[in-house]
Homo-oligomer: A and B are copies of this chain.
């Protein structure tokens, strides 16, 4: 078994229930969105129109919970540690599996995650173990069908010498958000530092560190809130799906 397969098994069996950062280093991690087939075209168009935030790495056939390209044998209903469930624009309690919510018309979208290149950043000498948040902005996404809402970003605080390295490393993974969209002042994006979606309260930025912002795969969850569709299932922020795809093979050719 690969490290990714081992991690998925531990998750499926309930032995790992926390965030996936640092699990199976070097394997591509994905954000998950599950919608009904009737909304799949609109959601696909939403991803296409906002593809820095929502790069689709795989879409499953209706009803099939197995990502046949990225993780043969895996099951999207059980192999993520925590799921966020949105009904009519309201987030319900998180779940550890979604077997009873899955239908023959469920379509799963696997969307690239910036966690995929954490390992590459570490190898390049850029620490990734702290100073990382998921935050709303006031920048609107491009709507499609019922889906609309603000862009969500991942903010990392980096040492000045690490900024160009992190930009170059992340840029070589366009399927996992690619390069940052902004560096510096959070107000340029209207970033809401007061209500992080993941990462805990944001302290004052230590002197000398630089905020760097990447488009984030949690963006569709804000669109789910705004669209008030009957049901949208996603990964809980930070609790991603581990694929069998090695990040180094997912880099730019």
| Most B C-beta atoms less than 10 A away, residue of A49, A144, A253 | A253
Question: A49 — which chain B residues lie within 8 A by C-beta?
Answer: 58-59, 69
A246 contacts chain B at the CB level, 8 A cutoff: no
Question: A69 — which chain B residues lie within 8 A by C-beta?
Answer: 49, 142
Copies in the complex: 2
A188 contacts chain B at the CB level, 8 A cutoff: no
**CB < 8 Å neighbour of A41 from B44, B48, B56, B58:** B44
A174 touches B45 (CB 8 A): no
Q: List the interface of chain A (C-beta within 8 A of B).
A: 37, 40-41, 44-45, 48-49, 56, 58-59, 61-62, 69, 107, 142, 144-145, 171, 174, 178-179, 252-253
| Most B C-beta atoms less than 10 A away, residue of A41, A56, A107 | A41
Q: How far is the CA of A49 from the CA of B67 in the complex (A)?
A: 12
Shortest beta-carbon distance from A57 to chain B in Å: 8
**14 additional contacts, CB 8 Å, given A44-B59, A48-B59, A178-B252?**
A37-B41, A40-B41, A41-B44, A41-B107, A44-B44, A44-B45, A45-B61, A48-B56, A49-B59, A49-B69, A61-B144, A69-B142, A171-B252, A171-B253
